[in-house]
Chain A
Amino acid sequence: AQRVTQPEKLLSVFKGAPVELKCNYSYSGSPELFWYVQYSRQRLQLLLRHISRESIKGFTADLNKGETSFHLKKPFAQEEDSAMYYCALSPLGGNEKLTFGTGTRLTIIP
């Protein structure tokens, strides 16, 4: 069985400060990890996936297989980053069924 844990339900960070949203997973096979974001009154949208190794809106996330983590980071928080963030896992090359973490609500303090 696969599981995604986001230990922080709420996270408040001052504008300009670094942000780190934690995500840990458990899965016996090779996982594909994603971060999805949901801005206020908007639908869930993909922020980034580990395979692409890209930076979106200044966010990056590195898959650490040793620590089974996929933390989301941004060096300088912006007010528009305030949103709900979900970490999700899918079996690599599998049926693309996503297992979501419980989410972290990020609030950027001006």
Chain B
Amino acid sequence: GAVVSQHPSRVICKSGTSVKIECRSLDFQATTMFWYRQFPKQSLMLMATSNEGSKATYEQGVEKDKFLINHASLTLSTLTVTSAHPEDSSFYICSARVTGGPPEQYFGPGTRLTVT
């Protein structure tokens, strides 16, 4: 149980375009999901906390207009990287908490974004 999927697993896009990444909790409801970014050989950096039915909470230094988060249902959160630039190339990982469950997070497999 407690499986989180991400789609796509990897995507290549051109500079200036937007790309959407989906995060789904497959067998549980998740009021809260999290979006992380991981640079090569570095740790995970929390970008934002996604709350179902309300606005996401962004970490300091993360541009909310660039990284749009929508959490429209209890099983789906999306991250849209708008007007992508090469420096946005990274590994994006989402996680989810079971609604009403213990505080541990279940992680998705990640999405490799490459902006050319």
The residues of A with any CB-CB pair to B shorter than 8 Å are 32, 34, 36, 43-46, 49, 86, 90, 95-103
Contact = CB atoms under 8 A, between A and B. Distances in A.
Interface of B: 32, 34, 42-46, 49, 93, 95, 97, 102-110
B104 A97 contact: no
A35 to B, nearest CB: 11
A102 B43 contact: yes
A97 B46 contact: yes
A34 B42 contact: no
Given A97-B34, A100-B43, A103-B43, A46 B104 contact: yes
A36 B42 CA distance: 15
Given A95-B49, A96-B32, A96-B97, A44 B44 contact: yes
Given A45-B107, A46-B104, A86 B34 contact: no
Given A95-B49, A96-B32, A97-B49, A44 B43 contact: no
B104 A49 contact: yes
Nearest to B97: A96
A44 B46 CA distance: 14
